Structure 1
């Protein structure tokens, strides 16, 4: 299994995520946690809270369209696992987000920037678990 590294696209994406987190904190006083934002759209607490969450999600979903306008083609998406593995992985991530009180964007981007011990611990846990999972899937199971 080969993983193609795209440094310029990755750098641009990282800059946009960081800028989004800073702007959300500056204008709304809210932490950029993608799963919390999605949860707020699916179960809205108030109309003003719903609006910025919905706009932010619309921006996330429209990213590939912006890529197409800039590059002339849709981004290549290669998912090297089965649909079943995606569903199981999504369920596991959902459990992790629930038990970890947030996702990688909330803890890794925003929480670590605020030097939150809980977020630093969560991010270290994410990274270790990711490394173990990649090793097991690629080298023990042969890339499902």
Structure 2
């Protein structure tokens, strides 16, 4: 595993957990990214800029912090080459459908829900992990894409 980075993973996980706790403590809201993104899109579509303020700031913070990390660390993103674009689109649509069907995403259930000891979030997270593992197995051993 040439990409194993335990220190970066530990720091990133601690930052994600800390931001989730701060958001919950300061506003009483969960840091479920799919719900935050959906609310921003819905609010902006209805012309409610102020209602989307903290959510938009949260999303921009995620994007800008990622940009800053890659700019200052010198690391580069190496996207997978020669992967069928149709499968990428299908994967994105399935993720969107899954977050809608599961009433949340990995951040909402896995980070915030498990932290609140939610049984529903435990089941959702186990489903996410099992599906992710199955997808990796299929893509690496059966599809060979």
- What TM-score do you get using the length of structure 1 for normalisation? 0.88
Structure 1 residue runs of 4 or more that deviate by more than 4 Å after TM superposition: 45-48
Answer yes or no: is the 8 Å Cα contact 1:21–1:110 preserved in 2.
Answer: yes
How far apart, in 2, do the equivalents of 1:65 and 1:137 lie? 29
> What's the C-alpha RMSD, in Å, of the aligned pairs?
1.9
Q: Per-residue CA shift, 1:28-48, capped at 9, x if unaligned?
A: 100110010001110118554
**Residue 112 of structure 2: aligned partner:** 110
Aligned residues, how many? Answer: 141
How far apart, in 2, do the equivalents of 1:68 and 1:138 lie? 28
Task: Give ranges in structure 2 of 5+ residues lacking alignment.
Answer: none
C-alpha spacing 1:140/1:107, structure 2 compared with 1 (3 Å): same
How far apart, in 1, do the equivalents of 2:25 and 2:31 lie? 11
Task: Kindly indicate whether residue 99 of structure 2 is the aligned counterpart of residue 97 of structure 1.
Answer: yes
Task: Kindly indicate whether residue 31 of structure 2 is the aligned counterpart of residue 32 of structure 1.
Answer: yes
How far apart, in 1, do the equivalents of 2:75 and 2:3 lie? 17
Q: Per-residue CA shift, 1:118-142, capped at 9, x if unaligned?
A: 0000001111111111101100011
- What TM-score do you get using the length of structure 2 for normalisation? 0.87
Question: Map of 1:24-103 to 2, 5 A cutoff?
Answer: 24-44=23-43, 47-71=49-73, 73-79=74-80, 81-103=83-105
